[in-house]
């Protein structure tokens, strides 16, 4: 699993492309998988501050995951140091984490 820290500014659109890699650093082949991602106060939190709505890039073998959040979704976010994660899941429903990190929400 990869770890990247991100910064989201209140009231601004947020876009980033992140690469999911395996233990050797090779890009994960995400063919046949979907992804989901959320920002939370803590990994143990039940509430979600922001749905990241990640999308796997069309070249599935690159491990590239694109995230775009419009400004309308960041306007009401609290200023905080939160965490986020992106999970991949297949048809079986089994999910596994591929990217995580801190999400600083700035004024």
Tell me what pLDDT residue 68 has: 98
Tell me what pLDDT residue 1 has: 79
| Domain boundaries along the sequence of the chain | 2-106
pTM, 2 dp: 0.91
- Percent of the chain exceeding pLDDT 70 equals 100
What are the pLDDT digits (tens) for 33-61?
Answer: 999 999 999 998 889 999 999 999 988 88
The count of other CB atoms within 10 Å of the CB of residue 2 is: 18
SS (H, E, C) 33-59: CEEEEEEECCCCCCCCCEECCCEECCC
Using the Cα atoms of residue 27, residue 33, residue 39 and residue 42 in order, give the sign of their dihedral: negative
Q: Which superfamily does CATH assign the domain made up of 2-106 to?
A: Immunoglobulins (2.60.40.10)
pLDDT interval class at 63 (50, 70, 90): very high
Tell me what pLDDT residue 51 has: 97
Select from 78, 29, 84, 80 the least CA-distant residue to 57. 29
């Amino acid at each position: 699993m990869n770890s990247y820290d991100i910064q989201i500014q209140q009231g601004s659109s947020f876009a980033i492309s992140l690469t999911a890699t395996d233990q050797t650093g090779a890009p994960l082949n995400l063919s046949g998988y979907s992804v989901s991602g959320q920002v939370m106060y803590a990994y143990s939190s039940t509430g979600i501050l922001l749905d990241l709505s990640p999308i796997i890039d069309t070249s599935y073998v690159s491990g590239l995951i694109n995230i775009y959040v419009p400004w309308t979704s960041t306007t009401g976010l609290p200023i905080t140091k939160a965490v986020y994660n992106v999970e991949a899941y297949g048809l079986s429903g089994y999910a596994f984490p591929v990217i995580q990190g801190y999400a600083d929400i700035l004024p």
